[in-house]
């Protein structure tokens, strides 16, 4: 598939800073793909976004848009206004003196004749569901509507791709989930690829086709949401996306070979309570706390004997349906689901 964006070995060091903000980061964005750039604050995700947009320049590396190099050492840098990228700012940055219609038209100044512009305006208003709001000013819109205007403004000039900086952080938590799905639907329908920066892993999992995890300026892992969630390559990534149990175990390498101690990472949803202690690998533990979490209870088990022979105590979290009535002190047997 053709690539909208290719970022290669980008390094950026801010003055008076001990470690690079970005350390040889490379990502590819295919046409029509939605990618989420995930990381804690200070991981360099916003810096990377600004470098792609041309609002900041890296120290080394290559930025390539639609096969054309726009930043590389020794090459004349393409300015932001020459890169044809849509950008949805965290605070939306809607022009307060322009109404919805004029905000969207702002980026269409190069489109001629005027009828062409109006055609695109109507098209984009329909796509983003902004009908009847054209004459409103930004301060007369709700947070979700403002986001749709920002999205419409970024998509209108048919950019090579769009960049979204923490698009969900300003939304009302109650409506956030539906607005997020709406955003994904709009971007997918437009056919324009998108790179979203977010620190909220829940948002990232549900909005993106591909996730890229950044840790302290380095790319940690890239892959589909399922892969990242269930097959994290590091404990950092695993715990970034949700609760994970670290369970010590013995690794048997066939008959007669010495066993090896190691830890495995298992998500609570990958563990289920079983009555049958025989057969498969299992853990026995005592319930020491239960937490009501709405759809399920989070139950913490204290396991003294487990897969290892050591005396150490391991705490294991499991998610249990509300129908199962577990009390403190109950002993349960847990086994791992096969995926």
Partner 1 sequence: MPKGLLNINNQRFSSFWWWLSAAFIAVVLFSPLTVVLSSLFKAPGEGWELITEYLLVDYILGTIIMTLGVGLTALFLGVGSAWIITVWDFPCKRFFSLALLMPMAIPTYVMAFGYSFVKYDIRDPLMLFIKNNWGAVIMSQSNEIFNYGLAILILSFALYPYVYIAARVGFSEISGTYIENSRLLGRGLFRSMFSVGLPLARPAIVGGLLLAVLEVMNEYGAMTYYGIETLTTGIFVSWTDLGDKDSAVRLAAVAMVFVLLLIAIERLLRGRAKFHAHRSSSNNLSGPTRTNAGAVMAFLFCFILFTVSFALPVINLCIDTLHGWEKSKLTDLIKGPLIDSFIVSSIGCLGIVIAALVISYAARLFPTIFMKSITKLCMLGYAVPGAVVAISILVYFSGMGSFLSEFLGFGSLTSLFFTLTPAGLIIAYFVRFMTPALAPIEAGMIRINASMDEASSMLGRSSWGSFFNVHLPLLRFPLFGAMIVLFVDILKELPLTLVLRPPNIETLATTSYGLIQKEERIADGSFPALILVLTGTLAVLALHILIRKRIVNK
| Contact footprint for partner 1 (CB under 8 A) | 53-57, 77, 79-82, 84-87, 89-91, 93, 95-97, 106-107, 109-110, 153-154, 157
The least distance separating partner 1 from the CB of residue 70, rounded to whole angstroms, comes to 12
- Compute how many other C-beta atoms are within 10 angstroms of the C-beta atom of residue 84: 17
Q: Which is nearer to partner 1, 45 or 267 (CB)?
A: 45
The least distance separating partner 1 from the CB of residue 176, rounded to whole angstroms, comes to 21
Cα angle: 102, vertex 106, 111; to 5 degrees:
115
The least distance separating partner 1 from the CB of residue 17, rounded to whole angstroms, comes to 16
Distance separating alpha carbons of residues 121 and 50, to the nearest angstrom: 27
The least distance separating partner 1 from the CB of residue 207, rounded to whole angstroms, comes to 21
Q: Which is nearer to partner 1, 84 or 308 (CB)?
A: 84
Q: Which is nearer to partner 1, 44 or 86 (CB)?
A: 86
Q: Which is nearer to partner 1, 137 or 319 (CB)?
A: 137
Distance separating alpha carbons of residues 157 and 333, to the nearest angstrom: 59
The least distance separating partner 1 from the CB of residue 204, rounded to whole angstroms, comes to 22
Distance separating alpha carbons of residues 40 and 166, to the nearest angstrom: 12
The least distance separating partner 1 from the CB of residue 87, rounded to whole angstroms, comes to 4
The least distance separating partner 1 from the CB of residue 154, rounded to whole angstroms, comes to 8
Distance separating alpha carbons of residues 86 and 186, to the nearest angstrom: 14
Q: Which is nearer to partner 1, 53 or 249 (CB)?
A: 53
For the chain, first and last CA: distance in Å? 29
Q: Which is nearer to partner 1, 63 or 211 (CB)?
A: 63
Q: Which is nearer to partner 1, 153 or 176 (CB)?
A: 153
Distance separating alpha carbons of residues 128 and 148, to the nearest angstrom: 6
Q: Which is nearer to partner 1, 86 or 217 (CB)?
A: 86
Longest dimension (CA), the chain: 80
The least distance separating partner 1 from the CB of residue 208, rounded to whole angstroms, comes to 21
């Amino acid at each position: 598939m053709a690539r909208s964006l290719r970022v290669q070995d980008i390094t950026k060091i801010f003055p008076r800073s001990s470690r690079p903000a970005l350390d040889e980061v490379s990502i590819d964005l295919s046409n029509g793909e939605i990618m989420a750039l995930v990381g804690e604050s200070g991981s360099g995700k916003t810096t990377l976004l600004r470098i792609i947009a041309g609002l900041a320049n890296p120290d080394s590396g290559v930025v390539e848009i639609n096969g054309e190099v726009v930043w590389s050492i020794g090459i004349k840098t393409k300015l932001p206004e020459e890169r044809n990228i849509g950008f949805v700012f965290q605070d939306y940055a809607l022009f307060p003196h322009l109404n919805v219609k004029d905000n969207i038209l702002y980026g269409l100044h190069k489109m001629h004749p005027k009828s062409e512009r109006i055609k695109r305006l109507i098209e984009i208003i329909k796509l983003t569901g902004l009908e009847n709001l054209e004459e409103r000013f930004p301060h007369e819109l709700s947070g979700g509507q403002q986001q749709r205007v920002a999205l419409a403004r970024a998509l209108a000039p048919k950019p090579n791709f769009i960049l979204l900086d923490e698009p969900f952080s300003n939304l009302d938590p109650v409506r956030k989930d539906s607005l997020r799905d709406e955003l994904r639907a709009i971007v997918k329908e437009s056919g324009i690829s998108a790179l979203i920066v977010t620190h909220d892993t829940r948002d990232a999992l549900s909005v993106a086709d591909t996730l890229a995890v950044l840790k302290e300026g380095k790319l940690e892992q890239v892959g589909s949401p399922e892969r990242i969630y269930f097959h994290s390559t590091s404990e950092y990534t695993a715990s970034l996306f949700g609760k994970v149990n670290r369970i010590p175990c013995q690794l048997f390498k066939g008959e007669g070979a010495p066993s090896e101690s190691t830890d495995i990472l298992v998500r609570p949803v990958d563990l289920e309570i079983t009555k049958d202690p025989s057969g498969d690998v299992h853990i026995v533990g005592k319930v020491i706390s239960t937490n009501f979490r709405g759809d399920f209870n989070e139950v913490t088990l204290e396991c003294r004997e487990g897969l290892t022979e050591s005396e150490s105590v391991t705490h294991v979290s499991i998610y249990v349906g509300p129908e199962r009535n577990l009390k403190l002190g109950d002993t349960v047997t847990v086994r791992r689901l096969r995926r």
